[in-house]
């Protein structure tokens, strides 16, 4: 019989708290030769191999990854699974991009068999890229969420998803109503929220595609189900912001539309947050609402540059997202690479520690899941990624010239992508392996 204790030996890095840009931060733990011990999918112990080897449980299976770095599973706090087949679509900015590519693609998710096939591919792709948890948009069709949750449940993944609410300013074939938005979401919440590792997110697409009646229904759902998520977009693109000002003249700002309908609170997660002001950021902080930095999408659909520093200084929780298909890749390692370049363009800094924190424990905090995932604290779920530090000739060569842990990690992140991911483990089991 297979042992229920599994010990993974490699270099191990994780965060205990936010390291900010402190290169000497006490909030990280690094073992150049470490062991992560798991039992039935949970973390039991982390330490130096030298010490732990002597005291491993007798029936423990040891899995050794020399020249590899083990980190917590990456957390993508904003992504659209139905947009997998339109990733890398040419030439449009947000509003035209939605009309030209997104809406026709999402139409196909009325067909559950299609949705299931895309969901399987999408989850394979996440795991190939080291992402083990995500906050995921479905489409307006309840079947899209059924298919996604079924696929995620079969793999025992910790995932959050929801049916899109949109009852105006989109093609008739994609519209729901305030009533069906409410009843369909309620049915999905009752069936899926809190089932195994799955959670539900009430998901209005963005303010322009929901009537006031529908936003009020979203607020009603949140009142009835205090621990479900709220997932939407805000202040991504200038034309969108101007449109919202026209549609909701009674609101002080785009963010204020959501505040007026009672949508801002802990577990509310807003993608983009690019064109906000100080009052908006203060409102997000006081309500416990999280912002998602989507570097690839900021650049790919040309929306603007998220200011991580202003957002963090305002005490807003921040996660990292790919926003596929607005973003043109699944890899959060590539996302970190673009995040760094965006902060450079803003004349600020992003340390390797801060960047990897955002993709792990920071993401878990943004999702209020830091009691379950995000680092290797004892008792947490054993979701982790094994990165090959010799994945490419260039990485191998560059790492020979690094002096400090920060230099090494920075090189790994700036040169890294899916080629580095040797394995992704979900609750202590390999869900992807090269």
What is the rounded end-to-end Cα distance, in angstroms, of the chain?
25
65: left (phi over 0), alpha (psi -120 to 50) or beta: beta
What's the token pair of residue 369? 């899941």
- Residue 326 is a binding residue for ligand GUN (CB under 6 A): yes
- Residue 203 is a binding residue for ligand GUN (CB under 6 A): no
Closest distance of CB 193 from ligand GUN, Å? 23
Residue from 197, 217, 233, 365 binding ligand GUN (CB under 6 A): 233
206 binds, among ligand GUN, Zn ion, none (CB under 5 to 8 A by kind): ligand GUN
Residues in region 9-28 near ligand GUN by CB under 6 A: none
- Residue 206 is a binding residue for ligand GUN (CB under 6 A): yes
Closest distance of CB 146 from ligand GUN, Å? 20
CA distance 336 to 294: 10
Q: What is the CA radius of gyration of the chain?
A: 21
Stretch that binds ligand GUN, among 55-63, 94-102, 331-339, 371-379 (CB under 6 A): 94-102
Q: How many contiguous H segments (helices) and E segments (strands) does the chain have?
A: 17, 16
Closer to Zn ion by Cβ: residue 137 or 376: 137
CA 42 to chain centre: 21
- Residue 236 is a binding residue for ligand GUN (CB under 6 A): yes
Residue from 76, 125, 176, 323 binding Zn ion (CB under 5 A): 323
- Residue 80 is a binding residue for ligand GUN (CB under 6 A): yes
Let me know if 281 is exposed, middle or buried by CB neighbors in 10 A (0-12, 13-18, 19+).
Answer: buried
Which residues are registered as beta bridge partners of 161? 136, 200
- Residue 205 is a binding residue for ligand GUN (CB under 6 A): yes
Distances (CA, A) of 386 to 48, 103, 292, 378: 17, 37, 25, 19
CA distance 269 to 124: 24
Name the nearest CA neighbour of 205 among 250, 266, 144.
144
Question: CA neighbours within 13 Å on the CB side: how many for 132?
Answer: 32
Applying CB under 5 A, the site for Zn ion has a residue count of 2
Closer to ligand GUN by Cβ: residue 321 or 362: 321
| Contact code string over 242-281 relative to Zn ion, x by CB under 5 A | -----------------------------x----------
Closer to ligand GUN by Cβ: residue 114 or 419: 114
Which positions touch ligand GUN (CB under 6 A)?
80, 94, 98, 102, 205-206, 233, 236, 297, 323, 326
């Amino acid at each position: 019989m297979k042992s229920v204790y599994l010990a993974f030996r490699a270099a191990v890095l994780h965060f205990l708290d936010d390291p900010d840009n402190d290169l000497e931060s006490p909030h990280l733990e690094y073992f150049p030769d470490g062991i992560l011990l798991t039992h039935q999918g949970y973390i039991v112990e982390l330490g130096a191999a030298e010490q732990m080897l002597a005291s491993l449980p007798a029936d423990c299976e040891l899995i050794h990854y020399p020249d590899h770095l083990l980190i917590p599973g990456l957390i993508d706090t904003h992504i659209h699974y139905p947009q997998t087949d339109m990733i890398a679509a040419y030439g449009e900015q947000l509003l035209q991009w939605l009309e030209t590519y997104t809406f026709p693609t999402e139409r196909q998710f009325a067909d559950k068999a299609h949705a299931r096939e895309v969901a399987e591919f999408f989850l394979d792709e996440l795991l190939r890229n080291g992402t083990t948890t995500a906050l995921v948009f479905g489409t307006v069709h309840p079947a899209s969420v059924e298919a996604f949750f079924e696929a995620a449940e079969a793999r025992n993944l910790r995932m959050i998803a929801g049916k899109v609410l949109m009852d105006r300013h989109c093609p008739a074939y994609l519209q729901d109503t305030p009533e069906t938005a409410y009843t369909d979401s309620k049915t999905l919440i009752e069936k899926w929220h809190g089932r195994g590792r799955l959670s539900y997110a009430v998901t209005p697409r963005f303010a322009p595609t929901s009537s006031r009646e529908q936003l009020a229904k979203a607020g009603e759902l949140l009142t009835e189900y205090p621990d479900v998520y709220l997932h939407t977009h805000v202040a991504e693109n200038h034309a969108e912001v101007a449109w919202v000002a026209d549609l909701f003249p009674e609101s002080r700002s785009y963010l204020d539309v959501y505040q007026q309908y009672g949508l801002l609170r802990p577990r509310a997660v807003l993608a983009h947050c690019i064109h906000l002001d100080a009052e908006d950021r203060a409102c997000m902080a006081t309500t416990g609402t999280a912002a998602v930095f989507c570097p690839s999408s900021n650049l790919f659909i040309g929306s603007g540059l998220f200011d991580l520093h202003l957002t963090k200084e305002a005490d807003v929780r921040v996660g990292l997202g790919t926003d596929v298909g607005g973003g043109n890749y699944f890899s959060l390692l590539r996302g970190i690479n673009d995040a760094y370049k965006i902060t450079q363009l803003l004349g600020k800094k992003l340390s390797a520690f801060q960047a990897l924190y955002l993709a792990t424990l920071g993401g878990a905090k943004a999702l209020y899941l830091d009691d379950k995932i995000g680092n290797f604290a004892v008792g947490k779920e054993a979701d982790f990624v094994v990165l090959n530090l010799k994945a490419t000739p260039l990485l191998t060569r560059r790492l020979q010239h690094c002096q400090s842990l920060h230099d090494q990690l920075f090189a790994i992140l700036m040169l890294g992508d899916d080629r580095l991911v040797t394995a992704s483990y979900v609750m202590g089991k390999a869900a992807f392996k090269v």
